Amino acid sequence: MSGLLAGKRLLVTGVITDQSIAFSVAKLAQENGATVVLTGFGRMSLVERIAKRLPEPAPVIELDVTNTEQLASLADRVREHVDGLDGVVHSIGFAPQSCLGGGFLDAPWEDVATAVHVSTYSYKSLAVAALPLMSPGGAVVGLTFDATKAWPVYDWMGVAKAGLESASRYLALHLGQKGIRSNLVSAGPLRTMAAKSIPGFQQFEDAWTERSPLGWSLTDQEPAARACLALLSDWFPATTGEIVHVDGGYHALGAAM
C-alpha cells in the first residue's frame, strides 16, 4: 500500500453529507492508503448511504459525542473493524439557533452549554474514548474557525471554537507523554450543512471570496482535508498544539471582515 497514510487506521467523525469536510478527509485518506472507520450521529441510514460513496465503503459506528455510554463502548465497537487507531478526526460542531446569527446577548446558558458540550468538550471526550486503541505516533485532528477574532453572526459558536482551540493545546499537553499529537485545521467558510445553519453565513462567503490573498472556493473541501491528512501523517512528528490555517490566507490580513 502506498500513499501519505499507507497502513494507517483512522476514525473519522462528522460525515453527514458528501459536502462534509469529514467526507473529503475520509475519501482522501482512503486514496492515500488509510483504512477508515466512520462514526455517524442521529441519521444513521443517511450516513451509511454516504459512506457507500467513498472509494472503499466504510463501516459506520453510531456516536453522539454527548452520550457517555456510546463514548464508553466506542473503543470496543471500533475494535470490531480495526485492531488499533493511528488517527482520530473530530469534525463535529453544533450550536442551537439562539447562539448564532447575532443572538449573543440573549442566548440562554442551556443553549450555550449544548454548543460547548458538542463543539468543545467533545474534542477531549472523543480523544479519551479512542485512547485505548492508540499508541505513540498517533494523532488527533479537529476543525476550527479562527477564534482569535469576534465575527459577526458566529457568536457563541465562536466562543465554543475558542474553547476548542484551547482544549487542543491542553490535549497536546496531556497526551504528549503518550506520544500522541493534537492539532487543528482552521478552515475558511465552506458550504456544508453546518455552515448553512448559520444565519448570515453569506457575509463570510462574500468576505472570503473578495479578500483572501490566494482566493477561496466555498465548495472545495479538499484543501482543508489535505491539511488534516498532513497532520495525521508522519510528516509532522514534532508538531502538537498547533493550528494550521487553510483559509486562502485570510487570517493574515490586517482587518477583519
Among 62, 66, 121, 152, binds ligand NAD (CB under 6 A): 66
Among 64, 73, 77, 152, binds ligand NAD (CB under 6 A): 64
Nearer to ligand NAD, 192 or 212 (CB): 192
Among 11, 21, 60, 85, binds ligand NAD (CB under 6 A): 21
- The nearest distance, CB 231 to ligand NAD, in angstroms, is 14
Is 161 noted as a catalytic residue in this protein?
Answer: yes
Per CB under 6 A, the segment of 77-85, 88-96, 98-106, 226-234 that binds ligand NAD is 88-96
17 lines the binding site for ligand NAD (CB under 6 A): yes
Residue pair 56/30 in contact (Cβ under 8 Å)? The answer is: yes
What angle do the packed helices 109-116 and 155-175 form, to 10 degrees?
40
Subset of 149-188 contacting ligand NAD (CB under 6 A)? 187
Q: Radius of gyration of the chain from Cα atoms?
A: 17
Among 12, 14, 133, 141, binds ligand NAD (CB under 6 A): 14
- The nearest distance, CB 136 to ligand NAD, in angstroms, is 27
189 lines the binding site for ligand NAD (CB under 6 A): yes
195 lines the binding site for ligand NAD (CB under 6 A): yes
Subset of 109-138 contacting ligand NAD (CB under 6 A)? 118
Interatomic CA distance for residues 88 and 38, integer angstroms? 10
Per CB under 6 A, the segment of 12-20, 30-38, 99-107, 173-181 that binds ligand NAD is 12-20
Interatomic CA distance for residues 89 and 166, integer angstroms? 17
Q: Which of 27, 161, 196, 250 is catalytic?
A: 161
Q: Which residues bind ligand NAD (CB under 6 A)?
A: 13-17, 20-22, 41, 63-66, 91-94, 118, 143-145, 187, 189-190, 192-195
Where in the sequence numbering do the catalytic residues fall? 154, 161
